[in-house]
Amino acid sequence: MRLVAGAYVSEGDPSVVFPIEEGIVRAFVPHEPAAGDVTETIKAFYEDNPFPNYEGTEDVGSLIEKSVARGFPEMLNRSIPPNATVLEVGSGTGQLGNFLSIAGRRVLSTDLCLNSLRLAERFRAANGLQNVTFAQMNLFRLPLQPERFDVVICTGVLHHTADPHGGFRGLLPLVKPGGYVLVGLYNRYGRVKTRVRRRLARVWGERVAALDPYLRAYGVTRDKRRAWFMDQYRNPHESLHTMDETLEWFDEAGIRFVRGLPSTVLGSRFSLDYRSSLLDEETRGSRLDRLFSQLQQLLQDTEGGLFVMIGRKNLQGGT
């Protein structure tokens, strides 16, 4: 990032300078909202409920331990080269950005919620991490240089916007030719059990957390438990999507499909426990393969029915 006298010079427009306060780049640019836009509503929600929060006095060792245990962050760590430039959009409280920076990657983690970013920056500073920067930015108005990043990760935010497809399209110019984009969305089928628990939460309140597989599996502390409950069961806006829909986004933009998590191929042996790379290409399977793969999420204790699709930008640039 271009920093001058304690400020950030916009890479999109060098005449615009944003302040850096509390170690955080303050580059949130409001956009002209379309009808039904929920940006300010979501921003206010996460200011009150930073997600996913930290557990007590975490340090680098405990962050690594928890990231390895969860599987997906460690698979990213093994798949992305140590010298890569990484943009994380929708970082929340910054666990993934902090974790990926440990191996020497240059990471920019952005979020619209300042309170979440304060927690992320506090952890970074306390543990002396030098390769990650946190910035308050609007994903629809990112003041960043085109084709700058090897990997763009956006795995938990598009479904909280009024225009997920438009948000996806806006990220693609930032990816280098040959670079990768990872998109995580709530699945129309895999989210069914969570949606049922959301209805129960209207009556039972936080007691419904006893039915949540993530909270049962990880035994998180009270603050983190509260953050998960609010994100999953009290969020004011979320949309649901399918693998086929996301593949249409990729095809329309000229993004080559790499793989999905869960796999788009029925019976695939790939799992987060394997030592292969997330960036190794796999066939997209048939429409029936993808349907059954998504229906399997109903039988598994996945984290809120989230699925991830990975694509690669063509080497000639553009989309």
- Look at residue 20 in the predicted model and tell me its pLDDT: 94
Q: How many Cβ atoms sit within 10 Å of the Cβ of residue 34?
A: 9
Asked if residue 36 belongs to a domain, the reply is yes
pLDDT in tens, the chain (319 residues): 666 667 888 887 888 899 999 999 999 988 776 656 888 889 898 888 888 877 665 799 999 988 888 889 999 999 999 999 999 999 999 999 999 999 999 999 999 999 999 999 999 999 999 999 999 999 999 999 999 999 999 998 999 999 999 999 999 999 999 999 999 999 999 899 888 888 888 888 777 777 777 776 656 667 777 887 888 888 889 999 999 999 999 999 999 999 999 999 887 766 666 667 899 999 999 999 999 989 888 877 666 789 999 999 998 755 5
Alpha helices in the chain, H assignment, sequence order: 39-48, 60-70, 72-79, 95-101, 114-126, 164-171, 192-204, 213-218, 222-233, 243-253, 287-296
257: containing domain? 32-313
- Look at residue 117 in the predicted model and tell me its pLDDT: 96
What distance in Å separates the CA atoms of residue 56 and residue 219, rounded to the nearest whole number? 13
Asked if residue 4 belongs to a domain, the reply is no
What distance in Å separates the CA atoms of residue 108 and residue 181, rounded to the nearest whole number? 14
Asked if residue 318 belongs to a domain, the reply is no
Asked if residue 7 belongs to a domain, the reply is no
Asked if residue 12 belongs to a domain, the reply is no
- Look at residue 36 in the predicted model and tell me its pLDDT: 67
Asked if residue 202 belongs to a domain, the reply is yes
- Look at residue 33 in the predicted model and tell me its pLDDT: 66
Domain count, the chain: 1
- Look at residue 224 in the predicted model and tell me its pLDDT: 73
Confirm if 124 and 134 have CB atoms less than 8 A apart: yes
Q: What is the CATH number of the domain that holds 281?
A: 3.40.50.150
Q: How many Cβ atoms sit within 10 Å of the Cβ of residue 290?
A: 23
Does residue 303 sit in helix, strand or coil?
Answer: coil
Asked if residue 25 belongs to a domain, the reply is no
Asked if residue 79 belongs to a domain, the reply is yes
